[in-house]
Amino acid sequence: MAETEAPIRFGIIGCANIARKVARAINLAPNSVLQAIGSRFIVKAKEFASVNELHESVKIYGSYDQVLEDPFVDAVYMPLPTSLHVHWAVMAAKNGKHVLIEKPTALDVGELDRILEACESNGVQFMDGSMWLHHPRTVKMKEMFFDSKLLGDVNYVYSTSTIPASPEFIENDIRVKPNLDALGALGDTGWYCLGAVLWAKNYQLPTVVTALPDVTKNSNGVIISCSASIQYRETGGAKTDAIIHCSFLSNTSMNLAITGSRGSLNLQDFIIPYQESSASIEFTLDAKLVELHIGWNVKPQKVVVASELPQEALMVQEFARLVEGIRTSAFLPDSKWPEISRKTQMLLDAVKKSLDLGCKPVYF
């Protein structure tokens, strides 16, 4: 950021745990600053400010409306329950605030379209909180393996996002409440898996999606574990099959495996790297079994990619850069990020529809 440019001033509405991470990211990014924090209860907002040692200049509000009405707030970050997204994101856009929203972006693509239409009509930037897309490793993978076709045609993608939740979480956490986050594990952890499949296919939508019959729901009927098959059947082109699994019932996993016609790559920490300062990629090219099938002709190669900032700070930095361009250079909002969010939401909706239909295929 040039010395003459003022940082983008963020407001946060909602004091969810993930907001602590993003508040830190806003302060770490070189082109942003935290301006305000708002909760429905002023006591909770004050507690958040104290626990996270926010600077005394940060405004503390006892309502979301006050954050949106603050003339010194340029952009808002929304870590709210999914059922509240459409109302508050539309309100933010109408107040001229740029919108960085937690995933899942909405309960369905119809709701997301209302948010995106409000952002577009008010000239504000939209982005969802898929932090892994902003890590230098993700950029490196795209350059190394996909732009260069080093892996060949993508034949298979496998992705998991699972966490071991407690019985108390399974029944009472916001993410499993039907009136707050009705998508459950599919929306919370499955968003990453579905996004990874789309990323591997350069955001091409699939031909057919079929939920697998291993779905588990809590006593309120909210998904706490599920899997899905995603198939690409391109006329005259390569076929790609993908499997995703998301769950609150398994050990922590964040796996992404992509197999192509010439090679494969594997990540075990694609959503949150094992450490902030670097992340690695393991891959093999032209692998074959040796004579008698007693080993391989190659060993996995490893590339380590350094990161000067945590991926969430890089996300904030990119978002703030786009906002700065709109503010000072009359640039239009970047359509890349809304398009990525919308396609991910469409794919999530298809998995949910298949589940609701008893695991019948849903065609695009």
Find out whether the peptide bond into 206 is cis, omega within 30 degrees of 0: no
Q: How far apart are CA 151 and CA 70, in angstroms?
A: 50
First to last CA, the chain: 42
Residue 331 DSSP class: P
Q: Which of 129, 117, 111 is nearest to 75 (CA)?
A: 129
- Degrees, nearest 5: CA angle 311-348-170: 80
CA distances from 30 to 308, 309, 316 (A): 12, 10, 9
Unique residue bearing structure tokens 């499997």: 243
Given the residues 103, 140, 177, 217, select the one marked as catalytic.
103
User: 3-class DSSP state for residue 294?
Assistant: coil
Q: How open is the CA angle 244-247-251, to the nearest 5 degrees?
A: 105
What is the spatial distance between Cα 195 and Cα 4, in angstroms, rounded to a whole number? 37
Catalytic site residue 103? yes
- Rounded CA gap, 62 and 43, in Å? 8
- Residue 310 CB neighbour total at 10 angstroms: 22
Strand partners, 264: 259, 284
Catalytic residues: 103
